Structure 1
Amino acid sequence: MFTKIKAKRFKFLGARLIKTGIAVYVAAFICHWAGLPAAFAVITAIVTLEPTAAASIRKGIKRFPATLIGAALAVTAVSIFGHNAAAYAIAAVFTIYACNLLHLEVGTLVATLTAVAMIPVTEGAYFLSFVERAGTTTIGLAVSAMVNFSILHPRFSELISAKNTRIIDEITTVLEKRTEELCQDKPASKSTRQRFQQLQKNIDRAMDLVYYQREEWKYHRYSAKYIDYFTYENRRLEALERIVYHINSLFMLREVDDTFHYGEKELCVRGFQSIITVLNHPEHHIPKEHHELVSEVDHHFWHIQETHPDMISYRYHHQFSKEIIVFYVILSIHDRLEDMEQLHQRHQKKHSLPS
């Protein structure tokens, strides 16, 4: 119980949360020291803190002019319409339009927030109000970028590794469920499809982490050991992505043909179970029994095509039978498993890891 509480607490106190707190404190402190209202700086610091320093700097370059546009339009709207609903609508609409027109889309949110938040506090001296609000918003932008750049450099390899482990668990679940459905001559159920869709989303999120880590390399140095670890986990993720791509073919089958007899179904079950075993092995070790099973699947795969040549004709409905597709998926996933086994062996040899 204590371990679970501690894990949740650690998750809550993540690096990004800590950096957000620091950025808010620093932005508010600077504004109070300069005698400026801190609200705009604090709001900006919160909404502009990006996952990586690279993103903060790159987007900050576009957010700064977008913020000036929003402040200028807010002042203009108040001077024409006063403090009423029309001023809010005009400021918001024209700020969004201007940001899109000038290709400053990443700054649209901050600029619009600045515009609408300025309206109720803008009185009389419009130019001074513009300078003050633009200044405090700029402080928030600068502080969030500097905090993100200098504090708690993100290390995404560990997160990618954890994602890979979770993806393997999800692949196992999806394969088991889909194999059972195929052997019962059933189409993919709604729950199985939902699990597969979630699996695809997790692959995409893991790929986002890879992108973030590569972005960080532009601004921070990492050890050769860490870079090699990242490369290993990245290539493992790429292999898992290809496996998921092949599994997608199983969801294109509504039901298996009547020609998919008991022996073929039994071979299908053994093939996917062996794949699951290799996937879940810490080193993705492929035993001799798996190679023998794959040879049996390969032999049966080519035997079906030789004895049923009409299945690979150029007519739309008879290019491949459904049982051929199932065996093709098994063989294709096996190729990826070999890649993962060799990848681990090279990584293990390079770092002299214990077996």
Structure 2
Amino acid sequence: MLFSKFSGGRILKTGISVFLTALICLALEWPAIFAVITAIVTIEPTASDSIKKGIVRFPASVIGAAYSMFFTAWFGNSAITYSLSAMLTIFTCHKLKLDAGILVATLTAVNMIPFTDAQFFDNFLVRLGTTSIGLAISTVVNLLILPPHYGKIIVDSTAELLANSAILLKMVFIDVSKGKKKKGTLDLFHRVLKDLEKAEQFCHFQRQEWKYHKHSEREMQKVHYEHKKILVIRQILFHLGNIIHAPINNSNNNLKNGKEIIAVVNSLALMLADRGNDKSPDHDALIANLLQYFWDLKNEKIMSCHFTAETTVLYEVLVLNDLVEKLHEIELTKK
């Protein structure tokens, strides 16, 4: 749901690019298929990416067209022509570091073979023309029509990440208290990680868009603060992952401060799920007790370089507390 608006805009821009590209090619009586393929793959999430990858795709398509014409001249419309054109296009593009253009170059190379007549050089020139039309139209459309604004998507993504991280936090420590690992906890962990990667990608897209479209200082600040929170959420997930992947068995659920830990976790979960929530009244006192107990345990095990299950859990709770408080500091700075 968060990304439907973004996807819808991209679909519409693809449709417009294909229509205009085909219209121009048909008016020139050139085969539209090659230009349309180029237009489709050149529509990127940002105008910056369209321009950068377009610069790579043009020479890659030239290479594919050249191989296609060369082998068609030698072997005609045969299986060996398709095979050699595809393989050498991929090999050459890779060697020349034109990897972003490999797909479109290979597709158009093999598509040219059945449409080629005896005028090989003329066909090659037409191919360059159709490629140029597809690249130009899709880039202009990406620049001028429905320029994406990722700010709202980023804000909504961050809110959803915080809510799901709160749920995950409670699930992880329920597993610890019971000495069991549940598949649902691991599944949610991986899902939140994927959502985090998408949110970080949208932050990257927005920064790229600012190079080509007007934006206000307020818009920049909003994305900046959301990105800072996303970075802290990544740290939170890292430490939750440490607990999830730590060895847990029935002997681990006998923590001396188990009730205090669960109380702290519940308080942290509330703070994560609703940024308006303050910590519980006894939160700081509980943290102080856990911190003292943690150092007492460490002093007892000073000769050992390994954390016990108990010290590991305590350490991660204390780190998670610092990270959640850091999130609140970011929220206060934003205001």
For the aligned pair, the TM-score class normalised by the smaller chain equals: over 0.9
Q: What secondary structure, in the 3-state scheme, does the structure 1 residue paired with 2:213 have?
A: coil
How many Å apart are 1:244 and its aligned residue? 0.6
Q: Hey, what does 1:341 align to over in structure 2?
A: 328
Which aligned pairs between 1:121-132 and structure 2 lie closer than 5 A? Answer: 121-132=115-126
**Residue number in structure 2 paired with 1:270:** 263
Distance 2:264 2:98 in 1: 52
Structure 1's 130 and 158: CA in aligned 2 closer, same or farther, altered over 3 A? Answer: same
Letter in 2 for 1:298: L
CA drift of 1:240 comes to: 0.7
Distance 2:334 2:259 in 1: 36
SS at match of 1:14: helix
Asked whether the equivalents of residues 64 and 85 of structure 2 are also in contact (C-alpha less than 8 Å), the reply is yes
1:41 corresponds to 2:48: no
User: Per-residue CA shift, 1:156-215, capped at 9, x if unaligned?
Assistant: 2221222212222322232222212211122x3333222212222221221111111121
TM-score normalised to structure 2 length: 0.94
Comparing 285-294 with 25-34, which one deviates more in the overlay? Answer: 285-294
Q: Which residue of 1 aligns with 2:194?
A: 201
Query: Aligned pair in 2 of structure 1 residues 9, 303: CA closer, same or farther (>3 Å)?
Result: closer
The aligned counterpart of 1:327 is 314
Q: 2:223 aligns with which of 211, 224, 230?
A: 230
Cα distance per residue 1:134-153 (max 9 Å; x no partner): 21122111111111112222
Give the corresponding residue for 1:301: 294
Is 1:161–1:233's contact at 8 Å kept on the other side of the alignment?
Answer: yes
User: Aligned to 1:135, what secondary structure does the other structure show?
Assistant: helix
Moved more, 114-123 or 170-179: 170-179
Output the CA distance in 2 between the equivalents of 1:74 and 1:147: 29
Contact 1:278/1:284 (<8 A) preserved: yes
Which of the numbers 167, 177, 195 marks the counterpart of 2:171?
177
Unaligned runs of 5+ in 2: none
Q: CA 1:239/1:9 → structure 2, altered by over 3 Å: closer, same or farther?
A: closer
Q: Give the letter for the 1:214 counterpart.
A: R
Runs of 4+ in structure 1 over 4 Å off: 7-13
Shift in Å, 1:101:
0.8
| Contact 1:257 1:323 (8 Å CA) reproduced | no
Confirm whether residue 139 of structure 1 aligns to residue 133 of structure 2: yes
Aligned residues: 335
Q: Give runs of aligned pairs for residues 50-199 of structure 1, distance below 5 A.
A: 50-186=44-180, 188-199=181-192
Tell me by how many angstroms 1:287 deviates: 4.3
The answer as to whether partners of 2:13 and 2:141 remain within 8 angstroms in 1 is yes
Distance 1:242 1:10, change over 3 A: closer
Q: Offset of 1:286 from its aligned partner?
A: 3.2
Instruction: Name structure 1 gaps, 5 residues minimum.
Output: 1-6, 349-355
What is the TM-score with the length of structure 1 in the denominator? 0.89
CA–CA distance in structure 2, aligned partners of residues 70 and 257 of structure 1: 62
- 1:230 Cα deviation after fit: 0.7
Q: For residues 153 and 327 of structure 2, what CA distance do their matches in structure 1 show?
A: 19
SS of equivalent to 2:211: coil
Most deviating of 219-228 and 50-59: 219-228
Report deviation, 1:259: 6.7
